[in-house]
Structure 1
Amino acid sequence: MAELFLVPNILSDGDWQNVLPARIFSVLTNTRFFIVENIRTTRRFLKQVNHEIDINQLVFFELNKHTRQQDLPDFLAPLEQGNNVAVISEAGCPGVADPGASVVQIAHQKGYKIVPLVGPSSIVLALMASGLNGQNFAFNGYLPVKPHERTKAISSLEKLTKNNGQTQIFIETPYRNNQLVTDLLKACAPATLLCIAANITGENEFIATKTISQWKGKVPDLHKQPAIFLIGS
């Protein structure tokens, strides 16, 4: 039976073999059909894993915010013909804070075999390294962009950490990271714990957990850096 592989991608520049399992090599080498966020960057990733892959022999379906829902079944058509298909994220794991869940849902409905491969998730890695509660946590995606709404959201998340002990995890568009941290320092109580994890698995990886009061005046420049944030008590 043909299989739908969910293939994680590296989070930061560097040797893929330091982050991804060896099986990635054989799956990517022997697969011809790919569902990806960005064709250009996926081509580069494939060549990084195996420079002998003939890119011109591959078929790519682009899955991003511009993709029409009605086109998704066509992306899985190769499975009906006995061909494996691989879903690849821009970074991290498909379907986790990234596109992919929609085609996986269709694949389940059609009875195809789903094979998730091991790989890095910034959400899990940041939680592991934060020292915050890993037994009870929630990933909230992006916080609101409007300042008033974002401050309100931060206060609500902080209340959850205090009342339930639940670690709250969220992300931001990289060019708005510094403003988000500024808002966190203003909205949260001095004793609330904040973990900032940036460039995870990269050479310039930065992960630190401090109280809000300890962070003030000592926050690194996070502008355009891939980062993830966690608050806890």
Structure 2
Amino acid sequence: MLETSTLFIVPTPIGNIQDITERAIAVLNQVDLIAAEDTRHTAKLLNHYQISKPCFALHDHNEQQKSATLIAKMQQGQNIALVSDAGTPLISDPGYHLVNDCRAAGIKVVPLPGPCAAITALSASGLPSDRFSFEGFLPAKDKAKTDTLTALLEEPRTMIFYESPRRVLDTVEKIISVMGPDKKIVLARELSKTFETIHGGPAGEVLPWLLEDENRRRGEFVLLIAGFKADPNALSQAVLQTLTLLSKELPLKKAAALTAEIHQVKKNALYKWGLEHL
């Protein structure tokens, strides 16, 4: 039997209906109420596993208002399971306000491990997985999307986004524009479903691949972008500023030597930069 007055975070399949744990099924069978992002969508999963429990609609538009209702039910001893349409709740899905309110009210929150599209895609992407950042959905508007990608130009970790089929083409074009055609990306679509596809390469090569077949632009996408790798031979702004100031008082060769000593960089690279820019 479950403890009383508890909120259970229950991940659900991202595509293949078999991708649900025995523990998740047991919890859904035993709770008093299931808070679902879309009750009609969740009903299909519950019917498949012959789970008969009342559902409560909890989505982006009503979560802050309905959270108090669910808190009151748990304070009265009920157990509630929180599910989203697919994957782990709260990961670009509703649930944050409810969980935050539960913790503030001293209500126990129990997370179950399970499906998550971002982690599933990362594991098969071939991009570094030791450090990564989940960025959710990119903004839909052009300028906001450009600004977001520009701010991430020097992000060293693998970046994970969710993207819709309507915007994926525009997003890849924007990556090329902001980050360059050589930026390595991976598109993972329809994960765990019949037409699962994981395709990666330089953004400039992924774009024509997308354009070749309209079917490649269908379904739900996880977009991964390789992190920034600094050029060990690149000269920082601080180094260049030092060289520029010294070169006003000293011959370039001497200025380059002193700058190299101050910043522990190669003198020849400084001298070459000075010849081209000073």
2:27 corresponds in structure 1 to: 27
CA RMSD after TM alignment: 1.9
Q: Does structure 1 conserve the Cα–Cα contact (< 8 Å) formed by 2:188 and 2:223?
A: yes
Query: Would you say 1:197 and 2:202 are equivalent positions?
Result: no
Deviations 1:92-126 (A, max 9, x none): 10111111111111111222221111211111111
The aligned counterpart of 2:238 is none
Aligned residues: 221
CA contact (8 A) 1:175 1:225 kept: no
1:232 and 1:110, CA in 2 relative to 1: closer, same or farther beyond 3 A? same
What amino acid does structure 1 have at the position aligned with 2:202? T
Residue in 2 that maps onto 1:136: 131
- Please report how far the alpha carbon of residue 183 of structure 1 lies from its aligned counterpart in structure 2 after TM superposition: 2.4
| C-alpha distance after superposition, 1:158-199 (max 9, x if no partner) | x124xxx21122122332222222322343323211011111
Structure 1 gaps, min length 5: none
Q: Which runs of 5+ in 2 are unaligned?
A: 228-278
Determine the C-alpha separation between the residues in 2 that align with 1:6 and 1:149.
32
* Counterpart secondary structure, 2:34: strand
Is it true that 1:11 corresponds to 2:14 in the alignment? yes
Residues in 1 aligned to 2:182 and 2:81: alpha-carbon distance in whole angstroms: 45
Structure 1 residues 8 and 39, CA gap change in structure 2 (3 angstroms): same
Cα distance, 1:11 vs structure 2: 0.9
Is the CA contact 2:58–2:66 (under 8 Å) kept in the aligned structure 1? no
Which TM-score applies when normalising by structure 1? 0.86
Deviation at 1:29, TM superposition (A): 1.4
Indicate the structure with greater helix content: 2
Q: Aligned residue for 1:38? A: 38
Partner in structure 2 of residue 225 of structure 1: 219
Q: CA deviation at 1:88?
A: 0.5
Q: Does 1:61 align with 2:56?
A: yes
1:46-92 CA distance string (max 9 Å, x none): 111x22x33xxx33222112205233121132322322110001111
- Indicate whether 1:148 and 2:139 are aligned: no
- Name the amino acid aligned to 1:177: V
Q: Distance in 2 between matches of 1:224 and 1:216?
A: 14
SS at the partner of 1:149?
helix
Q: For 1:160, what is the secondary structure of its paired residue? A: coil
Residues 102-153 of structure 1: CA distance to partner in whole angstroms, max 9, x if unpaired?
1111111222221111211111111111122222221222222222332332
State the distance in 1 between where 2:109 and 2:160 align: 27
Q: CA deviation at 1:224?
A: 4.3
Which of 66, 69, 73 matches 1:71?
A: 66
Q: 1:37 to 1:190 in 2, by over 3 A?
A: same
CA distance in structure 1 between the aligned counterparts of 2:140 and 2:87, rounded to whole angstroms: 24
User: Equivalent residue for 2:273?
Assistant: none
The residue type equivalent to 1:173 in the other structure is: S
Does the 8 Å CA contact 1:176/1:223 hold for their aligned counterparts?
no
The answer to whether residue 186 in structure 2 is matched with residue 183 in structure 1 is no
Selected match of 2:160 from 164, 169, 190: 169
| AA at the equivalent of 1:202 | K
Structure ID, larger Rg: 2
Give, in whole Å, the separation in 2 of the partners of 1:198 and 1:78: 38
CA distance in 2, matches of 1:201, 1:192: 26
The amino acid across from 1:120 in the alignment is P
Q: Residues 31 and 86 of structure 1 are in contact (CA less than 8 Å); yes or no, is this contact kept in structure 2?
A: yes
Letter in 1 for 2:62: T
Instruction: Report if aligned partners of 1:61, 1:75 keep a CA contact under 8 Å in 2.
Output: no
**Alignment CA distance shift 1:217-1:224 (3 Å):** closer
